[in-house]
């Protein structure tokens, strides 16, 4: 199976472990990722604040490249996904976009990473690759807000209760916990403009994960990962309550379940060290033995 991938800027820096794990598990599953040729930044959170036309044009340029590639486009980053979907809606309405003179046909689908693995790859193929079942792990899946809302842009099937990541991890044996905060906002870019609100939103996600009985949180967004992973020490200091909840990219957990030897390298880059939890569950030792 071949598919185009738009990595976005974060996956070449801040979210390097996400990109490496996406590539690794795709290879294990027999998926050939074709990086979009000559892709450029989609504008993310900043461009549309400054200029709506520029924001659409930045994302639309990449969609023009994807259309020439002739394959569905997977987008690991939630912010990139939403910006590309905004541009897609703009183009489908026949609105002109500066720098994109060719008529847009929209002959391909734009997919989030969890949706692609569940809908295109499927449960059977995932189960067949499992070497280290995650049955001792109790994650909640946190989707954030950018891949689900607003549904008229994202085309989310169930924007308040997305299920694709839950189903992927359950197929790997994880004891995924149900909770009602999987699509709530963690604060996003408020970390720069309103750090007080950002910290409250992030703390609420952590608190609700603990209340749901989770011992870790799985995400599919570089911004969500950074907020939840890097702010726990500061929140602990401010509240007097200790937070030490490992935050995983869901593809890292896939790699762990598939027995990928690079998994420990990805996980060693996290702010909250996930290795003690994984050793406690016997997952790292199982991987070494294999």
Average pLDDT of the residues in 155-174:
97
Q: What is the pLDDT of residues 194-248, one digit of tens each?
A: 889 989 999 999 999 999 999 999 999 999 999 999 999 999 999 999 999 999 9
Residue-range domains of the chain with CATH: 2-113 (1.20.1050.140), 131-289 (3.40.50.11810)
User: How wide is the angle at C-alpha 278 spanned by C-alphas 274 and 284, nearest 5°?
Assistant: 120
Give me the mean pLDDT over the 4-32 stretch: 96
Predicted confidence (pLDDT) at residue 114 exceeds the cutoff of 80: yes
Instruction: Tell me the C-alpha distance between 173 and 137, whole Å.
Output: 8
Q: Which helix (H) or strand (E) holds 216?
A: strand 216-219
Which pLDDT tens digit goes with each residue over 172-201?
999 999 999 999 999 887 877 888 998 999
Q: What is the pLDDT of residue 102?
A: 65
Residue 40 — φ and ψ, nearest 5°? Answer: -130, 170
pLDDT of residue 192: 77
Q: Give Rg (Cα) of the chain.
A: 19
Q: Tens of pLDDT along 35-67?
A: 999 999 998 777 766 788 889 999 999 999 999
**Residue 183 to residue 200: CA distance in whole angstroms:** 16
Question: Is residue 72 over pLDDT 50?
Answer: yes
Rounded Cα distance between 205 and 184, Å, is 8
CB 123: neighbour CB atoms within 10 A?
A: 13
- Tokens at 171, concatenated: 């197929």
pLDDT of residue 193: 81
Mean pLDDT across the stretch 158-180? 97
């Amino acid at each position: 199976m071949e598919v185009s991938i738009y990595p976005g800027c974060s996956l070449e820096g801040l979210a390097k472990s996400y990109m490496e794990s996406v590539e690794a598990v795709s290879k294990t599953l027999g998926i050939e990722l074709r990086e979009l040729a000559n892709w450029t930044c989609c504008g993310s959170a900043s461009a549309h604040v400054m200029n709506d036309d520029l924001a659409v044009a930045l994302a639309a340029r990449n969609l023009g490249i994807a259309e020439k590639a002739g394959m569905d486009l997977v987008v690991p980053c939630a912010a990139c996904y939403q910006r590309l979907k905004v541009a897609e809606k703009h183009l489908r309405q026949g609105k002109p976009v500066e720098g994109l003179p060719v008529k847009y046909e929209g002959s391909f689908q734009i997919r989030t990473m969890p949706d692609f693995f569940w809908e295109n790859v499927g449960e059977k193929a995932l189960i067949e690759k499992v070497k280290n079942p995650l049955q001792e792990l109790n994650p909640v899946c946190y989707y954030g807000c950018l891949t689900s809302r607003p549904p008229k842009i994202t085309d989310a099937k169930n924007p308040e209760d997305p299920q694709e990541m839950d189903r992927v991890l359950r197929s790997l044996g994880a004891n995924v916990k149900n909770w009602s905060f999987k699509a709530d906002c963690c604060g996003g870019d408020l970390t720069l403009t309103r750090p007080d609100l950002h910290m409250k939103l992030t703390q609420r996600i952590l608190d609700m994960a603990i209340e749901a009985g989770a011992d870790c949180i799985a995400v599919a967004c570089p911004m969500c990962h950074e907020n939840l992973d890097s702010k726990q020490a500061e929140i602990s200091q401010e509240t007097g309550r200790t937070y030490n909840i490992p935050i995983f990219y869901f593809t890292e957990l896939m790699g762990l379940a598939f027995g990928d030897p690079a998994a420990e390298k990805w996980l060693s880059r996290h702010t909250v060290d996930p290795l003690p939890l994984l050793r406690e569950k016997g997952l790292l030792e199982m991987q070494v033995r294999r």
